[in-house]
Structure 1
Amino acid sequence: MSQNDLSKTLPLRGLHTYAGGCLCGAVRYEATVDLAGVTRCNCTICMKYGYGGGVGMKPDAFRLLKGQDALKKYGRDGSPNTRSFCSNCGVVCYGDGDVPELGGKFVSIYVNTLDDVDPSLLTFHYWDGRHDNWAAGMRPTPWPFQAAA
Structure 2
Amino acid sequence: MTQNDTQQKNPAQRGLQTYAGGCLCGAVRYEATVDLARVTRCNCTICMKYGYGGGTGMKPDAFRLLKGQEAIKKYGRDGSPNTRSFCRNCGVVCFGDGDVPELGGKFVSIYVNTLDDVDPSLLTFGYWDGRHDNWAAGLRSTPWPFQPTVS
TM-score (norm 1): 0.93
The number of aligned residues is: 147
Distance in 1 between residues matched to 2:3 and 2:101, nearest whole Å: 40
- Give a deviation string over 1:59-117, Cα, whole Å, max 9, x none: 00000000000000000011000000000000000010000000000000000000000
1:4 positional shift = 9.7
Q: Where do 1:75-114 residues align within 5 Å? A: 75-114=76-115
- Verify the 8 A CA contact 1:3 1:118 in the aligned structure 2: no
Deviation at 1:13, TM superposition (A): 1.2
Q: Distance in 2 between matches of 1:9 and 1:133?
A: 32
User: 1:131–1:4: structure 2 CA closer, same or farther, 3 Å change rule?
Assistant: farther
RMSD over aligned Cα atoms: 1.8
Which residue in 2 is equivalent to 1:51? 52
Question: C-alpha distance in 1, partners of 2:48/2:37?
Answer: 22
- The equivalent of 1:35 in structure 2 is 36
Distance in 1 (CA, whole Å) between partners of 2:133 and 2:3 is 40
Alignment match, 1:26: 27
Kept after mapping to 2: 8 A contact 1:3/1:117: no
Could you list the runs of 5+ residues in structure 1 that have no partner in the other structure? none
d(CA) in 2 for partners of 1:101 and 1:2? 43
Cα distance change, pair 8–78 in 1 and its aligned pair in 2 (3 A): closer
Percentage of identical aligned residues:
85
Given residue 69 of structure 1, which amino acid in structure 2 is its aligned partner?
Answer: E
Task: Give the deviation of 1:6 after TM superposition.
Answer: 2.1
The answer to whether the 8 A contact 1:12-1:122 is kept is no
5+ residue gaps, structure 2, are none
TM-fit CA distance, 1:139: 0.3
Within 1, Cα distance between the matches of 2:36 and 2:4? 17
Tell me which stretches of 4 or more aligned residues in structure 1 moved more than 3 Å.
1-5, 8-12
Range moving further from structure 2, 22-31 or 12-21: 12-21
Greater CA drift, 88-97 or 5-14: 5-14
Separation in 1 of the partners of 2:134 and 2:69?
33
Residue 120 (structure 1) shift: 0.1
- When structure 1 is superposed on structure 2, of 6-15 and 129-138 the one drifting more is 6-15
Contact 2:11 2:122 survives alignment (8 Å)? no
What is the one-letter code of the residue matched to 1:75?
Answer: G
